[in-house]
Amino acid sequence: MSLDVKEKTQVRLVFMGAAGVGKTALIRRFLQDTFEPKHRRTVEELHLKEYEVAGVKVTVHIMDTSGSYSFPAMRKLSIQNGDAFALVYSVDDPESLEAVKSLREEILEVKEDKCTPIVVVGNKKDRLQERRVSADVVLATVELDWNNCFLEASAKENDNVTEVFRELLQQANLPSCLSPALLRRRETFPKDTGVRPPMNKTNSCSVS
């Protein structure tokens, strides 16, 4: 099997966002299919996942960063080494969305590349009564103004978690053949049934 020269066989995904938005919960749900409701402070954790597709080994490094901003040097290093970024906020916390905006600006500054793969994730979409951030407003900002991808997810209910990782991997130029292998990993993955408006931006994402 031959790989496109633009495709990689290893990639580092970096999860960033304010404390308590569910970065660790999203990663744990994806890797272990478990959910721990109690928040546990993360300093920095690196997870490794290997796939073998048609004889080609693909290594995915997943960096779970601290929600505390007292480690600027560590944060900058994570950005420098990252290939694709998940910027996570909580739909019940408007301030966490402001943190996403600041983190995106820092990523673009450090990477010096406006086309850096970024997926903005609104986590805790299951909190219907506590929602304080409009998905429509964020969608317009992220996809129209920033030209990045936006998804809402729930680590608690395992809603759209796989789609977040699938989009990150695709934007990071991993072999396209990895996508079906990823989807077959567990037959219980839910399918996204949400209706999304059509986007004309070349860098925008779609979930199918």
Per residue in 150-160, pLDDT tens?
999 999 999 99
Per residue in 124-140, pLDDT tens?
999 999 999 999 999 99
Q: Domain locations in the chain?
A: 10-184
pLDDT at 57: 85
10-184 in CATH: which number? 3.40.50.300
pLDDT > 80? residue 180: no
DSSP symbols for the chain: ----TT--SEEEEEEEESTTSSHHHHHHHHHHS----S----SEEEEEEEEEETTEEEEEEEEEE-SSSS-HHHHHHHHHH-SEEEEEEETT-HHHHHHHHHHHHHHHHHHT-TT--EEEEEE-TT-TTT--S-HHHHHIIIIIIS--EEEE-BTTTTBSHHHHHHHHHHHTT--TTHHHHHHHS-TTPPPP---------TT-----
Q: pTM for the complete prediction? A: 0.82
